[in-house]
Amino acid sequence: FDIVKLNGVTNYVNPPRRDVVTTGPGTTTIRFKAENSGPWILHCHVEWHLQGGLAVIFVEDPDDIRANTHPTQAWQDLCPAYNALPPEMQ
């Protein structure tokens, strides 16, 4: 991802490209190209932050995933709760 804003400094012209960013006071803004179907996790590397829920999963192109991903029966058997969901949530 590109770091376009960090601690009040904005750079859309040639932002640094990283896979980790240390945040400080203020806001951090990242930019990434959404072109690779699948779930992608954005999370904090501080263990107790992660345990506290400071993580998010972005799902890129869910329609493509539904159309082109065909889990095996063994995969389906891993999570009975999934099968209990309404079809529109599967």
Question: Sign of torsion, CA 58 64 70 76?
Answer: positive
C-alpha to C-alpha distance for 83 and 18, rounded to whole angstroms: 38
Q: How many CB atoms lie within 10 A of CB 4?
A: 16
- CB atoms inside a 10 Å sphere around CB 6: 19
Task: Name the pTM for this structure.
Answer: 0.59
Mean pLDDT within 60-76: 89
Predicted pLDDT at 23 = 77
Q: Alpha helices of the chain — where are they, by DSSP H?
A: 47-51, 62-68, 73-76, 80-84
